[in-house]
Amino acid sequence: MHLRRKLVVGNWKMNGSRAALAELGPIAEAARAAPGVDVAICPPFTLITLAAARAGGILIGAQDVHEAESGAYTGAVSAAMLKEAGARLVIAGHSECRARGRETDETVRAKAAALLAHGLKAIVCVGESEEERSAGDHVVRVVAQLLGSLPELSGEAELIVAYEPIWAIGTGRTATPADAGEMHNAIRKALSGRFGDAGSRIRILYGGSVNAGNAASLFAVPDVDGGLVGGASLTAAQFVPIIEAAALS
């Protein structure tokens, strides 16, 4: 079995301003006090460069990327641009981007491939809808989505997977540790089947209403290698206890 460092990633979504960057100080302090944990914040595009300048040891990331190198894609941002701005890791295929068919598995795969090609860590998100879970199809659907979204591993850049049940994102509802364990185990098997030994080194994050109260029990689950955190990453007061829970797990 490979030892995987815990990773806690904050996704600020379309929140935050220059003033919000003051939160990075205490978050970085907590990260320094937790040397076994990697900590990242993904602010909106407009704050990446400013955030990177005051990151203090935490990784700064982005929430999305366009798969092309450059061209007539109004409003889009490429992997090279994100890297130049100071991003070290980037989310691809968040369910809020996949929604309404805006992104297919193929698009997510191309985005992740572009990120790895530029030496950026790529977080590929997968997750089932409430209907798929109720129908008992959740594992089959998520594994199929995962296999369709995975790029080839290339170079030294790191691929990370985030399991985020759609019904748990921003709702205050969280997968139970047992439910998360079932899915993370299935994802681990799929990664090992696809990449062999390298698959056992890929970190799998859980996302969906992670907070100070539930982080410890989720991070204790085998194959839960940390969290992708939305709402509870917006303030240091809420995010720091999650970093501390990861350090203790």
Provide the minimum distance between the beta carbon of 69 and ligand PEP in the complex, in angstroms, as a whole number. 27
Task: Between 192 and 217, name the residue whose CB sits nearer to ligand PEP.
Answer: 217
DSSP state of 172: S
Only segment of 29-37, 66-74, 205-213, 239-247 that touches ligand PEP (CB under 6 A):
205-213
Cβ burial 27-63 (10 Å sphere, 16+ → b, else e): bbbbbeebeebbbbbbbbbebbebbbeebeebbbbbb
- Exactly one of 66, 67, 94, 158 is catalytic; which is it? 94
94 labelled catalytic: yes
Site size toward ligand PEP, by CB under 6 A:
14
Task: Answer yes or no whether residue 164 interacts with ligand PEP by CB under 6 A.
Answer: yes
DSSP category for residue 158: P
| Nearer CB in complex with ligand PEP: 11/145 | 11
Q: How far apart are CA 68 and CA 58, in angstroms?
A: 27
Catalytic annotation, pick one of 67, 96, 132, 164: 164
**Structure tokens, 183:** 């899915």
Instruction: With CA atoms as reference, report the closest residue to 86 among 122, 54, 125, 109.
Output: 54
Write each residue from 40 to 79 as x if it is in contact with ligand PEP (CB under 6 A), else as -, in one continuous string: ----------------------------------------
Based on its alpha-carbon atoms, the radius of gyration of the chain, rounded to whole angstroms, reads 17
Q: How far apart are CA 34 and CA 248, in angstroms?
A: 9
Q: Which is nearer to ligand PEP, 179 or 195 (CB)?
A: 179
* DSSP alpha helix (H) spans, 46-203: 48-53, 79-85, 95-98, 105-117, 130-134, 138-149, 177-195
Active site residue 156: no
- For ligand PEP, the closer CB: 181 or 230: 230
Nearer to ligand PEP, 10 or 199 (CB): 10
DSSP 78: B
Query: CA angle at residue 127 from 123 to 130, to 5 degrees?
Result: 155
- The mark string for 211-240 relative to ligand PEP (x by CB under 6 A, - otherwise) is -----------------xxxxx--------
Which of the residues 87 through 126 are near ligand PEP (CB under 6 A)?
none
Q: Which range, of 14-22, 27-35, 183-191, 208-216, touches ligand PEP by CB under 6 A?
A: 208-216
User: Which are the catalytic amino acids?
Assistant: 94, 164
Residues that bind ligand PEP (CB under 6 A): 11, 13, 164, 169-170, 207-210, 228-232
